[in-house]
Amino acid sequence: MADMTVLAVLTLPGVARSAPYARRFLHDTLVPGHLGPRDELLDDLVLVVDEFVGNGIRHTASGRGGKVTISLLRGQGLLRAEVTDDGADGARPVLREHPQDESGRGLHIVEAVATRWGHRPDGACTTVWAEFAVDAAAGRPEPAAHTAANGLPRP
């Protein structure tokens, strides 16, 4: 990971009603210092963090009495959102092969809007992250080539 500055961290209980607090946290942290209130990038960040928090609550120990932790970081030309869950007995996020299936579309959406995303183990926990390119001077979204979780450019 490049030189990153932590903007803010929030830990929430692993319950569905935590999702609105996660969205509010993003808005309160990023507006107006890093993004405008109607910035499309803010919408994309909210969408991605909402997906990560929801997955953590639905598919890991976070949703069984645990917690999720959201971290927002800023680096040269990018914003990074991370969500750490309490783990799923070694299972990690997987991009499903068929995005048209009834469930499992969320990570395809993440892949479409984030510049790059991935995950890393942290002991029993898992941290899922997404990066978004921004103009380093203005803090505004910057067109960028998207890369998949494996770091290779997406077609």
Residue 152 lies in a domain: no
Residue 125 lies in a domain: yes
Residue 120 lies in a domain: yes
Confidence of residue 102 (pLDDT cuts 50, 70, 90): low
Domains of the chain: total: 1
Token digits of residue 83: 């969500």
SS3 label, residue 103:
coil
User: Does residue 138 have a pLDDT over 70?
Assistant: no
Residue 140 lies in a domain: no
SS3 label, residue 111:
helix
State residue 122 phi and psi, 5-degree precision: -140, 80
Residue 139 lies in a domain: no
SS3 label, residue 83:
strand
User: Does residue 146 have a pLDDT over 50?
Assistant: no
Residue 145 lies in a domain: no
Confidence of residue 95 (pLDDT cuts 50, 70, 90): confident
Residue 146 lies in a domain: no
Residue 28 lies in a domain: yes
Domain range for residue 103? 4-133
Say which CATH number the domain at 40 has: 3.30.565.10
Among 40-44, 66-70, 78-82, 88-92, the minimum mean pLDDT is found in 88-92
Cβ of 121: how many Cβ atoms within 10 Å?
A: 11
